[in-house]
Amino acid sequence: MATPDPTTPKSLGEKLQSLPRGILYLILVICTSVPLFFNIPVPNEPTQAAKDLFNALNSLPAGSTVLVGSDWTVSTRGETGGEFDALIRILMRKGIKFAVYTTADPQAPEVARDEIVMLSEDEKKHGGKGVERWNDWVSLGFFPNAEATANLIAADPTKAFGSKKDVKPDGTLGSALSSPVLKDIKTLTDFKMLILVTGTQTSTVTIERLSGKGLPLGMMVTGVMGPETAVYYDSRQLNGLCAGLKGVYDMETLMDGTFKGQVNFGRGKLYYPTLHFALALLIVAVIVGNVGMMISRKGKA
Amino acid sequence: MLFAQVEKTFWAEGSGSSALWLKILMAVVVGFGLTFAMLKLPARGRRTLVVGITFLAGLYWVLYYLWPQPLPGRLANGSPLPHGQPRDLVESVGFWIKDAQPVVSDFANILSSFLLGLGVFSIIRIHGRKLFRRQPDWGFSAVLFLAMIAMVIVGYVNYYQTRYTPGSSKLELPSNWGSWQFANDLLFNGLLQQMDAAMFSVIAFYILSAAYRAFRIRSVEATILLSTALIVIFSLMGIVAYEWNNAVAHIPGATTGGIAGNFSLTEIYKWINQNVQTPAIRGIDFGVGIGALAMGLRLWLSLERGGASAA
Amino acid sequence: MVLNYDTLKLTLGVIATIGLYSVLYRENKFYRFWEHIFLGLAVGYAIVALWTETLKESWWDKMVGSVPTGGEAGNPGYWAYALLLPIGLMGYFVFSRKHNWISRVPIGIILGLWAGQQVQVWWNRYGPQISSSIRPLLPNTTSSFTVPYIQNPSSGQLEQLRAQVYPSQAISNIVFVFTLLSVIAYFLFSFEAKNRLVKSMSLSGRWLLMVGFGAIFGSTVMMRFSLLIDQMYFIWMEWLTHHILGR
Amino acid sequence: MNNVSSWHGVQYQDTGWFGVVITLLLVSFILINIARAGKNQNLFIRRIAGLNAIDEAIGRATEMGRPVLMVPGLGDLNAISVQALNIFAYVSRTAARFSNPIRLCCGNAAVYTVAQEIIRDAYQQEGLADRYDQDSVRFLSDRQFAFAAAVSGLILREQAAAAFFLGEFFAESLIFAETANSVGAIQIASSTQSTQTPFFIAACDYVLIGDEFYAASAYLTRKPVLVGSLIGQDWCKISGIAMVLGGSLLITPALGIFSQKTINRTSVQGLDVPTTVAYTGVAAGEPLRPFEKHAGDMVDSYVIDSKTGEVQQKQVPVVEGEKVDVIEPRLITPADTWLQRFFQPQKNKALRVEREDDPKPKEVVYGSDPAGVALITAASNSNPCVLTATGHGLKNGDQITIYGGWGGWSVLNGTFQVTVLSPDTFSIPVDASQAGDFKNQNPTLAHEVKPATEGEVKK
């Protein structure tokens, strides 16, 4: 659109209709940073889907092994990162072993690894056990072909992960299958659950190929993917689902109810209230624009 | 334990065998030979050649779709079935098409990777000229080259060290990293990935200004766009949704299947999503799919003169 | 303030982020600097990934094969892959004024393969969509407007529920089918929309499109904002508070 | 499989002949019309707003003496990017006439190669080859956001006066659109990614929605080939409309085309239905999936009067060859299942297995699920291992090949000689005493019988 000619003085209506971007952007920065420093309570009723997911996780027996699909990277960290944190904290506290695999992005395993290490440190700092690679969790790395991988995992995890190696505490490599985490895994159902944290379409791939195999399936997706994934939750192909920032906050709220006095709140509690300010700003901006338009229309009339 | 290699055929030679290297060498030589032969090709032959090659390439997938594939020689989980052997021409062709599939699927990918050099060349030419002709902003071109060279060197050295050096497995753990790993981590994770995320998040600003400008009750369309967007946004705003849904829940029968139950914000959004958004998008995609099909046919059969199909 | 590798890494990241954000105010040298760094790194990485993520596995390894190693079967080498190299390099004739047509050979192959696939995948892609768009349009019961709510229904009851199209479902289905059809109708090009029906169809098609687009816009906003918030967190918390102020 | 014709292809088991026929039908629609168009030149195409603006945009750029920017999206080299380039060829031809500078930024090297070619041609056809500057067509980066940063930098620095964003765009679409908008460029945009279209609509002056993008070149050039194929596409869309509308009317029970239908319901894991009914007012779930069972298995059967939705339930055994449908939360009528046969790529493929002495072949079925739908339903932890397979119809000395065994039970995978113990059980010489619990490791196993001569036998 042509920028309005600056020489003619603007009426209020025109002013309201053409606020300089700079100002808008500045306000947005403020709206998205200032609330981060305050802890603003937002009433929250976790969705049934999130509750189901949390209960499924919470009822896993200690020492059992779950499979974690980590298909997110820095670019969607705002949502998936929070979900991953919540998930891993729960697993750590319940003493559940987990194997992390990726079918989306060659960088994802590294991102997941760093996140887990960071969380483990944090848990230890607050008196938790934390986890040790190889003994409590293994990184199975990146699998190029999502469909084939899902099929193979369903058919025979030992085949799927057979070639994968991971680092022992002494720094040498060992076959992931021989690790304490996977040594008892013979078939798919030896995993107690599969939780997929994803910012891409690997969700549908996984559901199509791994649901209904007697393995409980949980999913943590971005806000955009929420509605389409909810369909599978309604048809009970998913045992639980948490979507977007709301999902993160739901998980944290639920954790707070169970793990009293531990670090339960993370991105969710920080980001969710902040999100409200951002969205509110958007709505206000739209209103201002329209009011401006009406005023100037009146002016013309 | 050792596994035997599959038996040698005309196409397959034992890995590392001199026969293999010889054949590879010959293939390359012949390939380049043909290329230079093509330089001599008369103008008439050129179009025919390109059209023919294009057609053959496309023909594979069409056959793959239409030619009857023999009933599975092996199961989804890899265990073989007894009769995986062709009985007649139809089936042997079928088997051939089936076996070729994983190979052919890679072609496009490999070929376009070879073309990357052209892209890099374009960059080098543009910024190289700026740099050496000292055109305005030549400094930035220099920066670009530095960054590029650094990334290439660090990337490959790190790749080599983490793959092909003894004890490379240790490098999995940051605690054992050497300077190359740190350099790689700094350039790739510290900068490149971080800048990706930064640029991705810039969109938030643009969404704000775009919404501010576009969402005016100017026309019917704009109004529809605006109001749906607002409903959805509200349903995503925890507090609003929370209060609204509570209010709804207090309508008698709402939580037990009464009609009112459908008017919680989340349900409304879900309904729009499933009964308007989905079919609308499906409608567009259907048209786009047909368009792609038609375009595909025109390219495959080189029906358009000029443009991208063989001139 | 903790001086270590992480601080350095984060600090650089923050400066880069601010550099890229600065374009929001106006194009400036600082942005230009980071833009070119970004480009340089991206191209550099593309050159690295070209081999490490594409050619090595999908071309070289298949061409030269592999010898058996502990526990892993060896593969023979398929020499014919070597032919792809010259074919690919034909693309470089594009700059030649005389022989640029040769560059159409690899292009032709790539496009041909793509085109053939369209024919192959079309039905698998759209068949299921068509089928799942086929829905009963009229209710066969009026016992209740929406599907009655039953706590843990018996399978018999479930069948009952599923067997019946309740008015609410019928309405939704009609909306669904109408939306789909009118949108497709909107994209008919070779007809003069003289006929009133066609006209109103395609008009409503356009409006329903806008509903869909509005919904997409709205649902995307949340994600985009949370990514921005995450960046802000990265700057203010991870970097400033934790590493610089060392809290 | 001697008596199965070699023309009996797997892919036809997937989608049936229906899918193939429809596809070929659409293809012929397009080709026929292309042929038709070759003859008569004046065929109608309705007005497409965005495209009339192209010349206006270029004209404006010329007045301001500022470049025209073109971006063919981030996609690989395929029809989408080629189509974009064809439109850009038109744009650059006009620009060339006004000797207006152009900038074409590619995010993919292969696309860049074609772009060089096409744009140079465009200039040559205008007889202005000398005005063509190779660097006006550029490759920037194949990394999404690096590309985005570079393009917006370029827009701002060169103050593009007209911007064309046509092709495959993703999240970066808004970055381009808003940046171009901020320098007051006229923008004409289109993304085949319908999820990005709203952002273009919000930020751009003219947007080609979905299919209009493919219609564009026909509209601009009026080449008979293009116009013809456009008409062909319309035929395809109309047949799509017909299919959906016709199908919907067909399965609408109240219209009473089909009044009654027996449904055999089996609960298959994962396809099993929710135990509590979610709120409706939302259209009911996905289409059902045809699913096959073995003779003798008992399944719940419901007689449903689809006019009234009356349901009676009873238990019935499956008869050989009879189809069993897994019910998902939606109405089923014969027309429905009938349509599904055609439309829905079947998830389960049937595999024929014959024995030479067996005139009527026996049906063994396995699914996309590798473990498969079973013939063998139980196995003993003993040596030899005793297997249960209802009505296996084997005779002593037959060889069977078993596949799909998991975990401890992978010992069963292979070819064995059977000793028949009863019509439903037989044993094979395998020590399965350590194999663990059969049921939870192998919901099911599939096997097939081989003529006694073939293959070596594991003893």
Chain D residue at shortest CA distance from C112: D78
CA distance linking residue C204 with residue A82, whole number of Å: 41
CA distance linking residue C201 with residue C209, whole number of Å: 12
Q: For chain C, give the mean pLDDT.
A: 85
Residue B191 maps to a domain:
yes
Does A3 sit within 8 Å of D440, measured CB to CB? no
Chain D contact probe: residue of B288, B299, B305, B309 with most D CBs at under 10 A? B288
For chain C, the structural domain boundaries read: 1-66, 78-132
Does B230 sit within 8 Å of A107, measured CB to CB? no
What is the band of B260 on the pLDDT scale with cuts at 50, 70, 90?
Answer: low
Residues of B in contact with A43 (CB under 8 A): 238-239, 242
pLDDT exceeds cutoff 90 at D411: no
The mean per-residue pLDDT over the stretch C146-161 comes to: 63
- Residue C114 amino acid letter: W
Total domains, chain B = 2
CA distance linking residue D216 with residue B291, whole number of Å: 11
Judge residue C172's burial from the number of C-beta atoms within 10 Å of its C-beta, 0-12 exposed, 13-18 middle, 19 or more buried. buried
What ipTM is given for this predicted complex?
A: 0.90
Phi, psi of D76 (to 5 degrees): -70, 180
Per-residue pLDDT of chain A (301 residues; tens, 9 = 90+): 444 455 567 788 888 888 888 999 999 999 999 999 888 888 887 888 898 899 999 888 888 999 999 999 887 888 999 999 999 999 999 999 999 999 888 888 888 988 999 899 999 988 888 899 899 999 998 887 777 788 778 878 887 887 788 888 877 778 888 899 998 888 888 999 999 999 887 888 888 778 767 788 999 998 878 877 877 776 667 889 998 898 999 999 999 888 888 888 888 888 999 999 999 999 999 999 999 999 988 877 6
Contacting chains of C (3 CB pairs or more, <8 Å) are A, B, D
What is the band of D454 on the pLDDT scale with cuts at 50, 70, 90?
Answer: very low
pLDDT exceeds cutoff 90 at B243: no
Q: Are B147 and B121 in contact (CB under 8 A)?
A: no
Q: List domains and CATH numbers for chain D.
A: 49-207 (3.40.50), 352-456 (2.40.30.180)
CA distance linking residue B53 with residue C106, whole number of Å: 9
User: Strands, E, within A152-279: which ranges?
Assistant: 165-167, 173-175, 194-198, 217-221, 240-243
Phi, psi of A67 (to 5 degrees): -105, 130
Residues of A in contact with B266 (CB under 8 A): 47
Does C221 sit within 8 Å of A78, measured CB to CB? no
What is the band of C30 on the pLDDT scale with cuts at 50, 70, 90?
Answer: very high
**pLDDT tens digit sequence for B197-219:** 999 999 999 999 999 988 888 88
Chain D residue at shortest CA distance from B137: D157
**pLDDT tens digit sequence for A191-216:** 999 999 998 878 888 887 787 677 88
- Between D283 and D256, the more confident residue is D256
- Domain hosting B238: range is 216-290
Does A231 sit within 8 Å of D270, measured CB to CB? no
Percentage with pLDDT > 90 across chain D: 30
Residue B234 maps to a domain:
yes
In this prediction, residue D341 carries a pLDDT of 44
**Interchain contact C17–D (C-beta under 8 A):** no
What is the band of B253 on the pLDDT scale with cuts at 50, 70, 90?
Answer: low
DSSP β-ladder status, D419-422 and D425-428: antiparallel
Residue B63 maps to a domain:
no
Residue B129 maps to a domain:
no
The mean per-residue pLDDT over the stretch D165-183 comes to: 93
Residues of C in contact with D201 (CB under 8 A): 213
**pLDDT tens digit sequence for A128-182:** 888 998 999 999 988 877 777 887 788 788 878 877 888 888 777 788 888 999 9
- Peptide bond just before D384 cis, omega within 30 deg: yes
Do B204 and B223 sit in the same domain of this protein? no
Other beta carbons within 10 Å of B153: 14
Residue B225 maps to a domain:
yes
Chain C contact probe: residue of B59, B114, B205, B300 with most C CBs at under 10 A? B114
pLDDT exceeds cutoff 90 at B122: yes
Of B27, B236, B287, the CB nearest to C83: B27
In this prediction, residue B286 carries a pLDDT of 92
The mean per-residue pLDDT over the stretch C37-47 comes to: 95
pLDDT exceeds cutoff 80 at C15: yes
Contacting chains of B (3 CB pairs or more, <8 Å) are A, C, D
In this prediction, residue A2 carries a pLDDT of 45
The mean per-residue pLDDT over the stretch B45-66 comes to: 91
Of B209, B233, B265, the position where a domain reaches its end is: B209
Chain A residue at shortest CA distance from B171: A171
Task: Report the gap between the CA of D40 and the closest CA in chain B (Å).
Answer: 17
Tokens for B136, please give them: 């305005």
Interface of B with C in 14-53 (CB under 8 A): 14-17, 20, 23-25, 27-28, 30-32, 34-35, 38-39, 46, 49-51, 53
Of B118, B203, B296, the CB nearest to D175: B203
Chain A residue at shortest CA distance from B234: A279
**pLDDT tens digit sequence for C192-246:** 767 788 788 888 999 999 999 998 898 888 888 999 999 999 999 889 988 888 7
